[in-house]
Structure 1
Amino acid sequence: METLSNLESFVRSAESASFSAAARRLALTPAAISRNVAQLERNLGVRLFQRSTRGLKLTEEGERFLASVSGGLDMIQGAIADVTANMGVPHGVLKLGAAPRFGRSHVLPLMTDFLALYPSVLPDWNFDNRQVDLIADGFDASIGGGFDLSPGVVARKLAPAHVIAVASPAFMSNKRAPRSPADLGGLAGVVMRSPETRRIRLWTMRHASGAEMPAQQHPHIVLNDPDAICSAVIAGMGVGLVALSDVLAEIERGELTRLLPDWCVDAGQISLYFPSQKLLPSKTRAFVDFVTAAFETQNLSKRFSAQ
């Protein structure tokens, strides 16, 4: 009979296509993961992975075997986790990821109360606008919008991700307010260049009635960082299309004015991402439950909605 460690090494390697990533997740060495998988292959008499310098790729037999055992492995480890979850107080380093502006504005303020409840947890934050790879990079959780859901990762929805048109009152003081997204072309635009594609990001806005129309921005300044766009718009450089969650405080303080109040971009959901919830350490479970409850208490789902 195969040992649990052999099966777990195989499943986690398949999810991340990497012995090294599986080793980080299981707190083993890549060599140990490789040995476990090799032993499993010898016992089964089949090759489960094609190995190359580019990484791992499941063979046809490996894909069938993964489909057969991955669910059972999660059930076994879930049962173990359920038995041991309440035996210890949440503790240890909690590696977390979030976009810089969103993290500073909405998540960091929660940490005082979280650490008062769980003083043995050390949050280790990585603020970056790029999507982190929870499994390969060893993150316990991340918060963001529009992320691809990779194998072994689940998402808990927190709030809508709506993008709106905003400008400073000073910038709009002598200008006619736009009546449709097409009118944005007559105003200086603070626009986004995608760091991945190097192209200007084009947005399609949706009216409350369901009608859609491209936002016709005229570039006045081009930036590759959402935080910088917010700063430029607040400084009066032009009109920007930004996430409502990123400028909610500025709108409430009157530092920014929302244009086209019946129009927005539906960019999906802001979600809390974490590894398969059946296998969560107590520190991660505590963080997930705390953040979810805080978003509900503060009614952020409604406040972040542009509709």
Structure 2
Amino acid sequence: MQPLSHLESFVRSAEAGSFSAAARQLGLTPAAVSKNVARLEAGLGVRLFQRSTRRLTLSEGGERLLREIGGALSTLSDAVASVAKDDGQPAGTLKVSMGQAFGRDYVVPLLDGFLARYPAVLPDWHFDNRQVDLIGEGFDAAIGGGIELTPGVVARELARIHIVAAAAPGYMAGKPMPRRPSDLAAFDGIVRRSSPTGRIRSWTLRNKAGEEGAVDTRARVIFSDPEAMAQAAVMGLGIALLPMPFALPRLQSGTLVRVLPGWWADSGPISLYYPSKKLLPARTRVFVDFVVEHFRSRHFARDMQGN
């Protein structure tokens, strides 16, 4: 029987693609992880990785071993961790990735209630506007939109996010109100450049009647960040097409008003992602349940609609 530490070093290295990444997850040095894998290879008499200076690649034998033990080892490790707690309460470091502005505005406010219920959990939250490798980087969960659903990861949809047109009341004062999306061509636009593609984002708005119309504003300002776009709109620099998480607080406060009310674009879901394990660590399970229940009770999905 191979030691559990050797098997775990192999599985984490295979999933992360490097000994260094596996070492960060396991709290070991890369040399220790490499040595564990080498001892496993020696015990099995099989080379598990094709090593290069840039990345580990599984050999045929390594792929076969990972298929056989990957899920079982994860379940075993989580089961051991679960029963090892003195009082049976969820505990340990909860590593979560989320967008910067969305995390600050919608997730951090949940922290006091979550910690009051689960005081032994240590939140380790990363605020990054990027798609993380949930398993390879050792995250317990991630919250965001447009994240690729890779093997071994499941998603719980929190809401569909609508895009709406908004502007400062002062900017719209004295101007004729647009009635259709094409009317926005007469106004200054605060437009968004997509970070992944470098292109200016274009939107087609629709209404409940099924009508559609493309938006073409005069670009006055170009930003890559929707929170900055919302701030520029509040300053009266033009009309911005904003995701509802950024528009809603300002619409409620009156610093922005809807332009073309009843017209919107669907930018896709924002979801809570986590590994699809049979036995999730208790800290991850209670976090998922807590977040889903909070957003449901606050009617978040309804508030994100622009229709």
TM-score (norm. length: structure 1): 0.85
Maintained 8 Å contact 1:85/1:282: no
Deviation string, structure 1 residues 178-235 (Cα, Å, up to 9, x no partner): 3333332221110112333333223344444556554323210011222111101121
Root-mean-square deviation (Å):
2.8
Query: Are the structure 2 counterparts of residues 187 and 11 from structure 1 closer, same or farther at C-alpha, using a change threshold of 3 Å?
Result: same
State the number of aligned residues: 307
Tell me the equivalent position of 2:50.
50
Query: Are the structure 2 counterparts of residues 23 and 80 from structure 1 closer, same or farther at C-alpha, using a change threshold of 3 Å?
Result: same
In percent, how many aligned pairs have the same letter?
52
One-letter identity of the residue aligned with 2:8: E
Deviation string, structure 1 residues 89-124 (Cα, Å, up to 9, x no partner): 334443333223222221222122222223343434
Local SS of the residue matching 1:76: helix
Local SS of the residue matching 1:55: coil
1:143 maps to 2:143 = yes
Which moves more between the two structures, 107-116 or 197-206?
197-206
CA distance in 2, matches of 1:233, 1:32: 53
- Structure 1 gap segments, 5+ residues each: none
Query: Are the structure 2 counterparts of residues 154 and 33 from structure 1 closer, same or farther at C-alpha, using a change threshold of 3 Å?
Result: farther
Tell me the equivalent position of 2:264.
264
Local SS of the residue matching 1:305: coil
Equivalent positions of 1:158-169 (< 5 A) are: 158-169=158-169
Q: Using the TM superposition, give the Cα deviation of residue 82 of structure 1 relative to its aligned residue in structure 2, in angstroms.
A: 5.6
CA distance in 1, matches of 2:11, 2:224: 37
Query: Are the structure 2 counterparts of residues 14 and 306 from structure 1 closer, same or farther at C-alpha, using a change threshold of 3 Å?
Result: farther
Query: Are the structure 2 counterparts of residues 48 and 297 from structure 1 closer, same or farther at C-alpha, using a change threshold of 3 Å?
Result: same
Tell me the equivalent position of 2:19.
19
CA distance in 2, matches of 1:74, 1:219: 51
CA distance in 1, matches of 2:272, 2:106: 13
Which moves more between the two structures, 85-94 or 125-134?
85-94
Query: Are the structure 2 counterparts of residues 46 and 211 from structure 1 closer, same or farther at C-alpha, using a change threshold of 3 Å?
Result: farther
Equivalent positions of 1:76-115 (< 5 A) are: 76-77=76-77, 79-80=79-80, 83-84=83-84, 87-115=87-115
CA distance in 1, matches of 2:277, 2:252: 36
TM-score (norm. length: structure 2): 0.85
Maintained 8 Å contact 1:190/1:232: yes
Maintained 8 Å contact 1:204/1:214: yes
CA distance in 2, matches of 1:236, 1:196: 28
CA distance in 1, matches of 2:249, 2:178: 23
Maintained 8 Å contact 1:20/1:30: yes
1:66 maps to 2:66 = yes
One-letter identity of the residue aligned with 1:105: D
One-letter identity of the residue aligned with 1:174: G
One-letter identity of the residue aligned with 2:96: L
Query: Are the structure 2 counterparts of residues 204 and 135 from structure 1 closer, same or farther at C-alpha, using a change threshold of 3 Å?
Result: same
- Structure 2 gap segments, 5+ residues each: none
1:33 maps to 2:33 = yes
CA distance in 2, matches of 1:153, 1:195: 24
